[in-house]
Amino acid sequence: MAIEIDHLGIAVRSLEEGLRFYEDALGMAVSGREKIAAEQVEVAMLPAGAGTNPPRIELLEATGEASPIARYIEKRGPGLHHIALRVDDLENTIERLKSEGARVLQEPRRGAGGHLYVFVHPATTGGVLLELIQKEPVKD
C-alpha cells in the first residue's frame, strides 16, 4: 500500500497573518481556500513540492470557539497541529490500525477537497496527531 505525505496542518490565529509569512516571505502560492463547517475551520492550502499532487502546508484558522483549532490554540498556541498521510484504501487502513490497538478518533467524514478522513490519537502514534486521508475524493 502506498502512503504519501498529504499535508502538514498548522494552526494559526489568523489566515491573513499566516499567509503573509508563507506567501510574502517564502513566496509560496495558495492553491485553495475552503471553509469546513463541520470542523468550524477555514483552511488555506499551499503546495510544497512538484508534481500533480504535491504535499502541502495547510493553514487552519478557527471560525468558532468550539472548533478543535480554537481549543488547540487556547491550550498550546499556534503551531504544528497534525501530519496528514494519503492512503489508497482508508477503510482497510482504519481496520488494520484498530486491530493493532490504535485509537481512531471518529468515523470517516468528508473534509477539504471532498476527501474522506479520520484522525488517529497521538497516544498511539508516538505523540503526533495523525490524519489519514483517502487518496481519491468521494464522488457525490
pLDDT over 80 at 1, yes or no? no
Per residue in 53-78, pLDDT (tens digit) is 899 999 999 999 999 999 999 999 99
> Has residue 26 been placed in a domain?
yes
> Has residue 60 been placed in a domain?
yes
> Has residue 69 been placed in a domain?
yes
* Closest among 35, 31, 41, 40 to 10, alpha carbons compared: 41
> Has residue 90 been placed in a domain?
yes
Average pLDDT estimate for 6-19: 96
> Has residue 139 been placed in a domain?
no
Number of separate domains in the chain:
1
CA 16 to chain centre: 18
User: What's the pTM value of the predicted model, to 2 decimals?
Assistant: 0.90
Domain that holds residue 117: 3-134
Per residue in 74-112, pLDDT (tens digit) is 999 999 999 999 999 999 999 999 999 999 999 999 888
Instruction: Read off the CATH number of the domain in which 31 is found.
Output: 3.10.180.10
> Has residue 140 been placed in a domain?
no
Q: pLDDT value at position 52?
A: 86
